[in-house]
Structure formats: structure tokens, C-alpha cells
Chain A
Amino acid sequence: MPAASGRCGGSGRCPDRRARPPPRSSVPLSAQDTVDRLLRLHFRDGRTRVNADAQLLVAELLKVFVREAAARAARQAQAEDLKKVDTEHLEKALPQLLLDF
């Protein structure tokens, strides 16, 4: 699954605490790279890395999360006899979703 190409590239003016600086040009991120950067964005320690297999698993976990969120919201909408899923349906499904993850 291709990731959207970024419009902005990091200027890379100052070295940041992550092991690798973000790419300078707006090169599209590969799916794997995206997961890696997503996680590294939130790591407290600059040295923490993610194993390749773990990256795949996290990507999988996130996909399951999204599908689950979408499916539960859809189920909620269907329970109300509606075909269009709106944020209110998502809101109703959200608490249990977060508890389950």
C-alpha cells in the first residue's frame, strides 16, 4: 500500500535527536518506512529502533485497528438503520474499541 507523497520535506537544518534525519526532498515514503517513522516520532529515546519483522507486525496491527474501528462504526450505523456512517456512530463505538486495544 503506497503512502501519500509528502508535500514538505524536512529542511534538515538542525540535527534532531532521532538516529536518522528526515528526508530532505518530498520522496514518497514506503509503507514500511512510514510505520517506522510513525513509531520513531513518538519514541522518547533516540536510540530505540524497530526490528523489520516488528514493523510488519505493527503495520498489521494498525490495519486491524482501522478495520475494526470502521466495522464497528458501520455496525452502529446499521443498527440505526442508516447506510451512511457518520462521526456519531464512530463516537458510540469508540470507548469499547479503545478498551479492546
Chain B
Amino acid sequence: MAAAGAEERQMLAQRLKAAVHYTVGCLCQEVEEDKDVQFSKQSIAAISEITFRQCEIFAKDLEMFARHAKRTTVTTEDVKLLARRSNSLTKLKYITQKSEELASSNMEQKEKKRKKSSAAKGARTPGEQEAAVTENEDSNTA
């Protein structure tokens, strides 16, 4: 019984790793164009492995933050706490959160006024454009 559960979990993990790898590939491509470099396949694979493992750390931390606040649902406050180490990230998160709230309320508006919704507004959260800070020059490193 436990073995089947573990196998299922592993298969899910595989799918997720593949999804992460795909997205990492896309993001690396943007950086490639931006900085005029080329990433070797191994380095892209390494970045996606690192990201996947970092997710585990994030997940456990988030769960603990939520539990510390006596909640079972992870909220944006927990995520902001997660990003505390980097100075610029904390500021960025604040802005991003504001846009999240706007985005959520926008989505509700759209549901009601479907006929008038234009393509320009889109479902893309403004937050995605905010976080285009590639090199955190002023991150907490000297």
C-alpha cells in the first residue's frame, strides 16, 4: 500500500520536474537573448534540478509559517516572509502583492462584464511584468 503511494508520488514528481524543466528552459532562453550568451543543456538541467529542490525548502518553510500563525492555508504573508532575505525582493513582493489584489478583483469584474472585456486587459497579471528584475544588483550582497 505504501509502495504504490510512493510510486504514485514519484510519478507526480516526475511530471512536475518536467514542467519545471520546460519553464526553466523558457526563462533561460530569455536570459540568453538578454545577455547574449548560450546555456549548455547541462546547465539548464542543473538549474531546473536546483529549482525543484528549492521548492521543497520553500514548501516546508511556508507550511511552517502558516502553522506558526495557526492557519492551514498558506497566504501571501507567508510568501512575503519567505522572500525576506533579499532586500529588493521584499520591496518587490509588496508591489507584486498589490497587483495581485488588483488582479483578483479585476478577474471578478471580468466575470460579470464578459461582453465588454477587451483582449488588451488579458488574464496576465501585472505582477509578471513587475518582477523583471533579472540581476539584483542591489540585493543584500555587498
> Which residues of A are at the interface with B, using a C-beta cutoff of 8 A?
1-4, 6-14, 16, 22, 29, 31, 34, 37-45, 47-54, 56-58, 60-75, 77-78, 83-87, 89-90, 94, 96, 98-101
Contacts and interface: CB of A to CB of B under 8 A. Distances in A.
Nearest to B27: A66
Interface residues of B, number: 78
B97 A53 contact: yes
Contacts of A34: 16, 19-20
Contact of A60 (B51, B54, B104, B127): B127
A52 B104 CA distance: 9
Nearest to A13: B4
B12 to A, nearest CB: 5
B8 to A, nearest CB: 5
A83 B131 CA distance: 26
Contacts, number: 220
A54 B74 contact: yes
B56 A89 contact: no
B38 A39 contact: no
A48 B24 CA distance: 27
Given A48-B63, A53-B76, A69 B21 contact: no
B76 A51 contact: yes
A34 B56 CA distance: 14
Given A6-B18, A22-B12, A70-B47, A42 B60 contact: yes
